[in-house]
Amino acid sequence: MASPSTRHEKRWKQPLSVVNIGLESFADSLNEQEVSVRQLDWRPSPADVPRLLYTKDGTSIDQANKEALQRMMAGRPQIVGLDLAKNVVPGMTDRMILHAGPPVTWERMCGPTRGAVMGALVYEGLAGEPEEAAEIAVSGNLDFDPCHHHQAVGPMAGIVSPSMPVWIVENAEFGNRAYCTLNEGLGKVLRYGAYGEEVYQRLHWMADELYPTLAAALEDSGPIDLRAMIAQALHMGDECHNRNRAGTSLLLRALGPSLARTCSDGQCLARVLEFIDGNDHFFLNLSMPAGKAMLQPIEGIEGCTILSVMARNGTDFGVRLAGDPDHWFTAPAGVVEGLYLPGFSEEDANPDIGDSTITETAGFGGFAMAAAPAIASFIGGSAQDALNTTREMYEICFGEHEHFTIPSLGFQGTPTGIDVRLVMESGILPKLNTGIAHKEPGIGMVGAGVLRAPESCFREAFDSVKSW
Amino acid sequence: MASPSTRHEKRWKQPLSVVNIGLESFADSLNEQEVSVRQLDWRPSPADVPRLLYTKDGTSIDQANKEALQRMMAGRPQIVGLDLAKNVVPGMTDRMILHAGPPVTWERMCGPTRGAVMGALVYEGLAGEPEEAAEIAVSGNLDFDPCHHHQAVGPMAGIVSPSMPVWIVENAEFGNRAYCTLNEGLGKVLRYGAYGEEVYQRLHWMADELYPTLAAALEDSGPIDLRAMIAQALHMGDECHNRNRAGTSLLLRALGPSLARTCSDGQCLARVLEFIDGNDHFFLNLSMPAGKAMLQPIEGIEGCTILSVMARNGTDFGVRLAGDPDHWFTAPAGVVEGLYLPGFSEEDANPDIGDSTITETAGFGGFAMAAAPAIASFIGGSAQDALNTTREMYEICFGEHEHFTIPSLGFQGTPTGIDVRLVMESGILPKLNTGIAHKEPGIGMVGAGVLRAPESCFREAFDSVKSW
């Protein structure tokens, strides 16, 4: 019997070389028949989809989005202090655990989030061991809630428990506040789902020595301008999501003199400085609430199709639109392509997790990767990939940032304000960079990489906009 | 009478459009005759000039240069301490003033160098007023000597007087040491030729409080690796000549814990941290001696045509070759194209000045500008100019740096090891960036910009190589 390709040759009188556009299943089918085929990465031109310009009651979406961008530009996030979560985070109770991403029950929680919850319960003294903590978690005797429901953001698992210290970031223009814990560093840390003595000890030191030392310095220094610091860091090779070396350095410079004036114990001060110097991600837990504080004022703008939230809990990826700010649109969290720490591989990886995509939502992070070519050594890829990512993200953003600029692009503003209309018109999904947590509780970080947001939550959000 | 262009039209039966290659005087002459002419920036191809490969006694120049590059790569410059110049700078005497660039007498000294000498004499207590200082300088009762004759480097006027504190940088691989004063900041400062109470007070505070505080911290910290710090800073948007924001930040991070442990006076520590935080050029006076320390080991390699020194005193520009390390080849210092501070213009500018071109000589600074696109806001030009500069400098360098890399160029090594043969073959002169001093003594900084090194000193150096 003739082979499939011979059959084709008989029919077409020559070997076929096929270029396929559209559904990949056609190409797959030809491939199975041993026909040479190249799949073209092509989508209908934006011109084929008429842009949605008005809501049903005639509100101009462009006007609404313009207003949103203006509010984002006017925002002036500042560090104004630190306190314990239970004292300042709105709605926080003694039995409440906040987590990253959209709402999720214990049953559907991924490994690292479960691990971080268990670790936090031991840290809080509510359980003696992680196993006991898991029983408490199962019991239903705890309230789980997304950070985003409490003006907070948390990287990776994003766990905030009542007695953890948090940064207080205030948007000086609008008066709204955002909260975030202090960054623990990389590796075997709670936010990557790790628990154990090493993790608890670090968290206790952070609460007992780091927090009061920083709080006293901040009272001496007064508010610290995070918008200026992020802008500077973007000129120093950070994108302020997975590269925060410059931001961390600038924070140390800004706090240094006040730390010197307020901390009379030189050994304590040295430990604080060494801890921060030893953790280039320290600034992440400030760039995140800065992004949140800049986005909160756009929530509730009628007809606004710009994303106010994009977040993942390790099980689901969720987005919220400024025009419908309490509505989560979710899809399964994606798989991260990345660089793995020695001894780990893709098989160990949990799906995409964390609130840190608030940085991309606010116009920096992955969207500003062109400013951070050296990030390739952490998340993989090349400098050209980083440049391409930023260039592509302009296609789905409503504007460019006035304050956050990219020197290598002639100081062009970063792509800012993800417009769900543009995402659906272009077929381009937001590109994110992220750390990777082990999928089992109790282990921690295994790598870092990049991925795209899943499509279906954007499609659902867009469909919902059509009914506005 | 017919106009010249009409005459041409008669001869050629049509209007002429001329492209001129080579001597510009042809184009000038046509221009005068109102003929449209475009001057082509063209030089004979390198293939037209056979490369000089051996000295007369048969030493391979490529082998010598390879050895030089290997020594530069092996160099590990470290901060090992601070002391007063008179205690540590080799050959320094009580009546000696070191200056930047090649040797120069008081009579030929430019305004800012004179101003800085006068200020230094008042600072040293050798004169009560600048006028008196000028008389002492004229008297011949002082020894002027280039920093480079004393294992030292000085930015701008580069004045080192006996009781100024200096950084001690040691190349851990070869044991050689280099010295440099502490950076005062920008504006009305001694190194830009300024004098007056503000200048003396700052210098005295630096000697009385900054120096001992840093020295004590350094004893606690042990040697600080400058090669690693420069490498990092190049990944954070510095080129470590006119942009040192990252380097300064990294230095503060490295010294912070030791400062905290050794300085028990919190107010003093706060002043030290504020001074350094307030001066993004603080790291320049460490990147310079680091460059010097990496270049010293190549001095004396027989047949080596790589530059070991490139420096300016504001009157002359001078270069030295590693194969003939005591011989200065000089040319008049060039005019800087740049950005001026409010109230100043090109008319106020002194010609090119300072030893800071040791950075370009060592493979960073202007040659690494592609790593520092944000420098455009300080020296003018665009990010593309910065990229082009680095790309062009590969043409005149013998190799690429192993440790200093540029993320946006796919982590390519910086162009390193200026080979006078390649300069003459290509006709491409080194491109430098620099601060600009006022041409009169006593005023200070007026701007910053870029320029090329003058040709004639390279031609003379190359002619001399032919006789080796």
**Sheet containing B445-452, strands listed edge to edge, beginning at the edge strand earlier in sequence:** B337-340, B445-452, B431-437
**Amino acid B1: pLDDT:** 41
Does A15 have pLDDT greater than 90? no
Packing angle, helices B197-205 and B111-123, rounded to 10: 60
Residues B318 and B448 in one domain: yes
Residues whose CB falls within 8 Å of the CB of residue B47, separated by 6 or more in sequence, listed in order: none
Whether A173 is covered by a domain: the verdict is yes
Does B462 have pLDDT greater than 70? yes
**Amino acid B2: pLDDT:** 45
Using the beta-carbon criterion (under 8 Å), do B383 and A409 form an inter-chain contact? yes
Burial of B21 (0-12, 13-18, 19+ CB in 10 A): exposed
Using the beta-carbon criterion (under 8 Å), do A410 and B382 form an inter-chain contact? yes
- The residues that bridge with A405 in the sheet, in sequence order, are A413
Alpha-carbon span A186 to A215, nearest angstrom:
23
The single-letter DSSP state of residue B127 is: -
Alpha-carbon span B335 to B146, nearest angstrom:
21
Domain boundary residue, one of A263, A290, A317: A290
Phi, psi of B426 (to 5 degrees): -85, -20
Q: Which amino acid does the sequence have at A462?
A: F
Q: Could you tell me whether strands A353-354 and A307-313 are parallel, antiparallel, or unpaired per DSSP bridges?
A: antiparallel
Tell me if B89 sits within 8 A of B327, measured CB to CB: no
- B-chain residues within 8 Å CB-CB of A277? 253-254, 256-257
- B-chain residues within 8 Å CB-CB of A265? none
Query: Between A and B, how many CB-CB pairs are < 8 A?
Result: 118
Q: Could you tell me whether strands A36-40 and A17-21 are parallel, antiparallel, or unpaired per DSSP bridges?
A: parallel
Tell me if A195 sits within 8 A of A118, measured CB to CB: yes
Does B11 have pLDDT greater than 70? no
- Chain B's closest residue to A273, CA to CA, is B257
pLDDT in tens, B58-82: 999 999 999 999 999 999 999 999 9
Identify the CA nearest to B290 among candidates B252, B240, B246.
B240
Using the beta-carbon criterion (under 8 Å), do A249 and B249 form an inter-chain contact? yes
Using the beta-carbon criterion (under 8 Å), do B277 and A254 form an inter-chain contact? yes
- What percent of chain A is modeled with pLDDT above 90? 87
Q: ∠ at Cα B317 (B364, B161), nearest 5°?
A: 85
Residues A331 and A443 in one domain: yes
Alpha-carbon span B301 to B297, nearest angstrom:
9
Does A42 have pLDDT greater than 80? no
Alpha-carbon span B430 to B423, nearest angstrom:
8
Whether A83 is covered by a domain: the verdict is yes
User: Distance of CA B398 to CAs B65, B349, B451, Å?
Assistant: 7, 33, 21
Residues A328 and A357 in one domain: yes
Does A1 have pLDDT greater than 50? no
pLDDT in tens, A276-312: 999 999 999 999 999 999 999 999 999 999 999 999 9
- A-chain residues within 8 Å CB-CB of B373? 407-408
The single-letter DSSP state of residue A236 is: T
The shortest C-alpha distance from A38 to chain B (Å) reads: 29
Please count the CA atoms within 13 angstroms of the CA of A455 that sit on its side-chain side. 5
Nearest to A374 among B258, B382, B407 (CB): B407
Return the structure tokens found at A14.
Answer: 């020559």
Using the beta-carbon criterion (under 8 Å), do A254 and B260 form an inter-chain contact? no
- A-chain residues within 8 Å CB-CB of B236? 236-238, 245-246, 249, 374
**Looking at residues A387-393, what average pLDDT do you find?**
97
Does B3 have pLDDT greater than 80? no
Alpha-carbon span A136 to A118, nearest angstrom:
9
Domain of A19? 4-40
- A-chain residues within 8 Å CB-CB of B407? 237, 373-374, 376, 383
Hey, what's the torsion of the CAs at A268, A269, A272, A276, to 10 degrees? -160
Packing angle, helices A245-262 and B266-277, rounded to 10: 150
Residues B136 and B231 in one domain: yes
SS3 A424: helix
Per the model's pLDDT, the better-predicted residue between B5 and B19 turns out to be B19
- B-chain residues within 8 Å CB-CB of A270? 256-258, 260-261
- Chain B's closest residue to A382, CA to CA, is B410
Does A378 have pLDDT greater than 90? no
Alpha-carbon span A367 to A417, nearest angstrom:
10
Which helix or strand (DSSP H or E) is residue B277 part of?
A: helix B266-277
End-to-end CA distance of chain A: 60
Confidence band, pLDDT 50/70/90 cuts, at residue B140: confident
Alpha-carbon span B298 to A424, nearest angstrom:
61
Domain boundary residue, one of A257, A290, A323: A290
**Amino acid B351: pLDDT:** 97
Residues A156 and A283 in one domain: yes
Confidence band, pLDDT 50/70/90 cuts, at residue A8: low
**Amino acid A48: pLDDT:** 61
Residues A112 and A64 in one domain: no
The shortest C-alpha distance from A403 to chain B (Å) reads: 14
Phi, psi of B38 (to 5 degrees): -115, 125
Residues A278 and A324 in one domain: no
- A-chain residues within 8 Å CB-CB of B258? 270
Return left, alpha or beta for A92; rule: phi > 0 is left, psi -120 to 50 is alpha, else beta. beta
Residues B219 and B305 in one domain: no
Using the beta-carbon criterion (under 8 Å), do A236 and B246 form an inter-chain contact? yes
Does A2 have pLDDT greater than 70? no
Whether A107 is covered by a domain: the verdict is yes
User: Distance of CA B364 to CAs B66, B224, B406, Å?
Assistant: 18, 19, 10
Q: ∠ at Cα B405 (B173, A254), nearest 5°?
A: 90
**Looking at residues B425-429, what average pLDDT do you find?**
96
- What percent of chain B is modeled with pLDDT above 90? 87
Per the model's pLDDT, the better-predicted residue between A16 and A155 turns out to be A155
Does B38 have pLDDT greater than 70? yes
- Chain B's closest residue to A257, CA to CA, is B270
- The residues that bridge with B206 in the sheet, in sequence order, are none
**Amino acid A36: pLDDT:** 78
Using the beta-carbon criterion (under 8 Å), do A256 and B256 form an inter-chain contact? yes
Q: Could you tell me which residues of chain B have a Cβ less than 8 Å from any Cβ in chain A?
A: 232, 235-238, 245-246, 249-250, 252-254, 256-258, 260-264, 266-267, 269-271, 273-274, 277, 373-374, 376, 382-384, 387, 407-411
End-to-end CA distance of chain B: 60
The shortest C-alpha distance from A338 to chain B (Å) reads: 18
Alpha-carbon span A173 to A228, nearest angstrom:
14
pLDDT in tens, B268-311: 999 999 999 999 999 999 999 999 999 999 999 999 999 999 99
- Chain A's closest residue to B279, CA to CA, is A253
Alpha-carbon span B263 to A257, nearest angstrom:
13
Whether A121 is covered by a domain: the verdict is yes
Packing angle, helices A226-234 and A284-295, rounded to 10: 120
Confidence band, pLDDT 50/70/90 cuts, at residue B236: very high
The shortest C-alpha distance from B168 to chain A (Å) reads: 24
Tell me if A98 sits within 8 A of A341, measured CB to CB: no
Using the beta-carbon criterion (under 8 Å), do B252 and A249 form an inter-chain contact? yes
SS3 B366: helix
Residues B147 and B257 in one domain: yes
Burial of A121 (0-12, 13-18, 19+ CB in 10 A): buried
Using the beta-carbon criterion (under 8 Å), do A382 and B410 form an inter-chain contact? yes
Tell me if B449 sits within 8 A of B378, measured CB to CB: no
Does A43 have pLDDT greater than 80? no
**Amino acid B47: pLDDT:** 52
- Using only the alpha carbons of chain B, give its radius of gyration: 23
Tell me if B425 sits within 8 A of B49, measured CB to CB: yes
Confidence band, pLDDT 50/70/90 cuts, at residue B8: low
How many residues are listed for chain B in this entry?
Answer: 468
- B-chain residues within 8 Å CB-CB of A258? 270
Confidence band, pLDDT 50/70/90 cuts, at residue B49: low
Looking at every residue in chain B, the average pLDDT score rounds to 93
- A-chain residues within 8 Å CB-CB of B249? 236, 246, 249-250, 252-253
pTM of the model: 0.90
- What percent of chain B is modeled with pLDDT above 70? 94
**Looking at residues A429-456, what average pLDDT do you find?**
96
- Chain A's closest residue to B270, CA to CA, is A257
Identify the CA nearest to B168 among candidates B285, B296, B299, B310.
B285
Residues B270 and B323 in one domain: no
Whether A86 is covered by a domain: the verdict is yes
Return left, alpha or beta for A121; rule: phi > 0 is left, psi -120 to 50 is alpha, else beta. alpha
Phi, psi of A96 (to 5 degrees): -110, 135
- The residues that bridge with B324 in the sheet, in sequence order, are B321
Using the beta-carbon criterion (under 8 Å), do B373 and A407 form an inter-chain contact? yes
Nearest to A408 among B261, B264, B408 (CB): B408
Using the beta-carbon criterion (under 8 Å), do B273 and A256 form an inter-chain contact? yes
Tell me if B297 sits within 8 A of B71, measured CB to CB: yes
Does A67 have pLDDT greater than 80? yes
CB atoms within 10 A of CB B239: 35
Give the distance from CA A223 to its chain's centroid: 25
Q: ∠ at Cα A453 (A451, A458), nearest 5°?
A: 165
Using the beta-carbon criterion (under 8 Å), do A253 and B376 form an inter-chain contact? no
Phi, psi of A319 (to 5 degrees): -125, 155
CB atoms within 10 A of CB A266: 18
Whether A47 is covered by a domain: the verdict is no
Mutate to test the interface with B, among A221, A232, A235 (most CBs of B within 10 A): A235
The shortest C-alpha distance from B123 to chain A (Å) reads: 28
The shortest C-alpha distance from B385 to chain A (Å) reads: 10
Phi, psi of A84 (to 5 degrees): -80, 145
- Domain count of chain B? 3
Alpha-carbon span B114 to B154, nearest angstrom:
15
Residues A166 and A232 in one domain: yes
Residue A259, domain CATH: 3.90.1710.10
**Amino acid A35: pLDDT:** 75
**Amino acid A410: pLDDT:** 94
Does B43 have pLDDT greater than 90? no
Nearest to A277 among B257, B263, B407 (CB): B257
Identify the CA nearest to B223 among candidates B298, B290, B154.
B290
Nearest to A257 among B232, B263, B274 (CB): B274
Whether A53 is covered by a domain: the verdict is no
Residues B282 and B325 in one domain: no
The shortest C-alpha distance from A58 to chain B (Å) reads: 44
Kindly write down the DSSP assignment for every residue of B191-260, as one continuous string.
GGTB-SHHHHHHHHHIIIIIHHHHHHHHHHH--EEHHHHHHHHHTTT--SSS--HHHHHHHHHHHHHHHH
Tell me if B351 sits within 8 A of B340, measured CB to CB: no
Burial of A138 (0-12, 13-18, 19+ CB in 10 A): exposed
